[in-house]
Amino acid sequence: MSANVTDVTDATFDTQVLKSDVPVLVDFWAEWCGPCKALAPHVHAVADEHAGKLKVVKLDIQTNQRSAMGNRVSSIPTLIVFKGGREVARQTGAAGGLQAIRRLVSSHV
């Protein structure tokens, strides 16, 4: 996968996402989620395309429920773009693949 995607946890969410100087795409996922696994290569591709302009992180909701609940993630996969510590875009589900993720982040990078 991509070196441009990192993992975050409940403990690191604030510093890595909300206090980031660049926009952040957060992939809320779980190991048991088939659509999450199908979406993962597209998330990594977007991370590579926007390296240096967009931080891309993954948060496993199974072990980091506080961050998932705090951001009203009720189904996965959910992708949320944060800019300046605030949510600016959201996509739930894997429909649309790579093109949908590109559209999600395009106006924020």
Residues marked active site are found at 33, 36
Q: Are 32 and 83 in contact (CB under 8 A)?
A: no
DSSP type of residue 25: E
Cα dist from 26 to 46, 101, whole Å: 12, 11
